[in-house]
Amino acid sequence: MVQYGLDFSFMLREMDAGYRITGVMRSAWHPEGMITAIVGALAISSVVALFPSGRILKSEVADILRS
């Protein structure tokens, strides 16, 4: 994708962005950014999952299955 890119010219044909843009989008690979995003996503999802799981662990299994 870095050398060839993705051809989005069919979608950009009718778009007016105020300046000329190419229809081929090329990517840039930043390993540090990817690792930071993965670690951040795992950390945020883990913290968010702690709240409901802590509440569920305090209640009885029969009460959970009844509702």
Question: At residue 20, does pLDDT exceed 80?
Answer: no
Q: Is the pTM of this model over 0.85?
A: no
Taking residues 3-17, what's their average pLDDT? 74
Mean pLDDT for all residues in the chain: 82
Range of weakest confidence among 20-24, 41-45, 60-64: 20-24
| Nearest Cα to Cα of residue 6 among 28, 32, 26 | 26
**Contact yes or no for 43/63 (Cβ under 8 A):** no
Q: How far is CA 40 from the centre of its chain?
A: 11
